[in-house]
Every structure is written in C-alpha cells, then in structure tokens.
Amino acid sequence: MRQAWAADTGDDIPWNTAVPWDTVVGMSADETTTGTPATRRVAIVTGGSRGIGRAVSERLAGDGFAVILAYAGNTAAAEETVSAITAAGGTAIALRADVADERQVAALFDRAEEDLGGVDVVVNAAGRMALSSIADLDLEVLDDLHRTNVRGTVVVAQQAARRLRAGGALITFSTTVVATQLPGYGAYVAGKAAVEGLTLILARELRGRDVTVNTVAPGPTATALFLEGKTQEQIDALASAPPLERLGTPQDIAGVVAFLAGPDGRWVNGQVLRANGGLAR
C-alpha cells in the first residue's frame, strides 16, 4: 500500500486537532477596522497562507480586496503571507480555523462582518491529497481526506451562500485529475468530483442573489509541496505533458481566481474551469 500525503492548494491541516478560530497572527495594513474604506471589497481565502492559496491571497489583496486568510496550523506561514501583503500596501489578517468545523467557519464569517462590514468573495483553497490504489486505501485516510475536501467545502459553501453580499462570488477548488483519471488518485478524485457536482446546483440555488459559484480545477502546479519528493525527470515529464510544455504556477491559478472574483467574470456561473495549459478538458 502506498499512502502519500500532501497539502492540495493551501494549508496542511493536523488531523483530529482542534484549532481555535480566533487566533490572529497579523493585522491589516491600517491596523484598524476604521481605516478600511466602506467601499472596499472583502475576501475570505481558506488555505490562504501557502501554495496556491497564498498566491490567491496576494493577488486579491493586490486587486484591492481586504483579505482574511484562514489557515489551519502553520502560524509562521500565515504571518509571512500577511507581512508580504501589507508590505506591498495591501490589507490582510490571518485567522486560524478548521474548514470542516462549522462553528469555526461561522465565527470566521462573523469576524469579517464585524471588522470589515461584510463578505464579497469566498475562495475555498484548503484541501488535502492522499495517494493510494483503491484496493489498498486505508478507510480512515479516506474519512480524513473527505472531511476536508468534501465536508469542508460544504461547510464553507453554506456560510458563503448565507452571507455573501450581492455581486459576490464563491470559488471552490477541484483538480484536473478528475479529467485525467490517473491511477492512485481514486479517493482524491472522488472528493473533488463531489465538489464539481455541487457547483452548478449551488449556483442555481442562489438564483436572484447576484452571487456566482464556480470551481477552479488546476493541473500540475509548481508549488513547493507538489515538487517535493519528485525527481527532475519526473518534473520534466509532468511539465512536458501540456501543449504549453510547462508546469503551471500558483500565480497562473490566482489569475483565474481573480478573473472569477472580479467584474469581468460576472457572466461565468456554475462552471468548472480547468486551468491546466491544455492538459485535459
């Protein structure tokens, strides 16, 4: 049996560990809520301290959003991300929360409403990946995997559906492996296919709210955790697979998210966008 664990797009979540939702590791560039203009749009990014999640946090902050990045356990990474955003003139705070815990996620949204006036964009970039053949899959691993990737998506989506302001957007994450169907990814793909299945249904349930719901499904992306443990030969093979003949970057994926979160993406709704350089449809 082969069980390999790696964070998907954002934070590494310690299993069966309670995390206090209200641990603040950074404050906004203004250091006060009164310094945030009433017209500023607000984004919550789960898994927002590392990898693709960090790139999304930085991109949205650069686009003028006040960003609340939710992280699971890596305080140092969260502090570093907030520092990078504020040093660039953006506004960000980091709050610790487990996306699969409905009380902690509700409290995260409470904080956004109390301190920043509301929520306009929610990006659920927190995720997990487990690799194993289906025959050898540890069912406890399956449960833990789906706790974050499926339950966590639903928990975040519930709060987003209830609280996003008009003109808002919910952006969730899947994977191009749903299309490529690689052996060893069965449990991971099962969870991400569930995320894709929710997308159009939720978009239709929010009829009349002026809120969009979309899913981004990255292909191989050059994050530190993706590259870890791979030989240069393996990396080169992955990079040569798409017609564009390179790995994606976290910034590539953040650009797709920024499009969906911004005014140019308002007519895209209920869709799964495979951002993979042409690797698969």
- The model's pLDDT over 217-227, given as tens digits with 9 standing for 90+, comes to 999 999 987 88
In the chain, the amino acid numbered 104 is Q
Model's pTM, two decimal places? 0.89
β-partners of residue 173 are 216
Which member of 48, 188, 211, 261 is catalytic? 188
Distance, in Å, from the CA atom of 166 to the CA atom of 271, rounded to the nearest integer, reads: 19
* Confidence at residue 224, expressed as pLDDT on a 0 to 100 scale: 85
Q: pLDDT category, 121, cuts 50, 70, 90? A: very high
Averaged confidence pLDDT in the chain: 89
Q: Lowest mean pLDDT of 26-35, 57-66, 91-100, 235-244, name the range.
A: 26-35
Tell me the average pLDDT across 8-18: 39
What whole-number percentage of the chain has pLDDT above 70? 86
Does the pLDDT value for residue 109 go beyond 80?
A: yes
* Domain over 4-220+249-274 is classified CATH 3.90.950.20: no
Banded model confidence at residue 39, pLDDT cuts 50, 70, 90: confident
Report CA torsion sign: 148, 83, 54, 119. positive
Q: Residue 10: its pLDDT value, please?
A: 52
Please say whether the beta carbons of 176 and 218 come within 8 A.
Answer: yes
Note the pLDDT of residue 167. 98
| Residue 188 a catalytic site member | yes
Is residue 18 pLDDT above 60, yes or no? no
pLDDT tens, residue by residue, 228-242: 888 999 999 999 999
Strands 272-275 and 212-218: parallel
Q: Domain segments of the chain: what residues?
A: 4-220+249-274
What pLDDT, in 10s, does the model give residues 146-162?
999 999 999 999 999 99
**Residue 214 pLDDT exceeds 60:** yes
Whether 98 has a pLDDT exceeding 70, the answer reads yes
Contact at 8 Å (CB) between 144 and 15?
A: yes
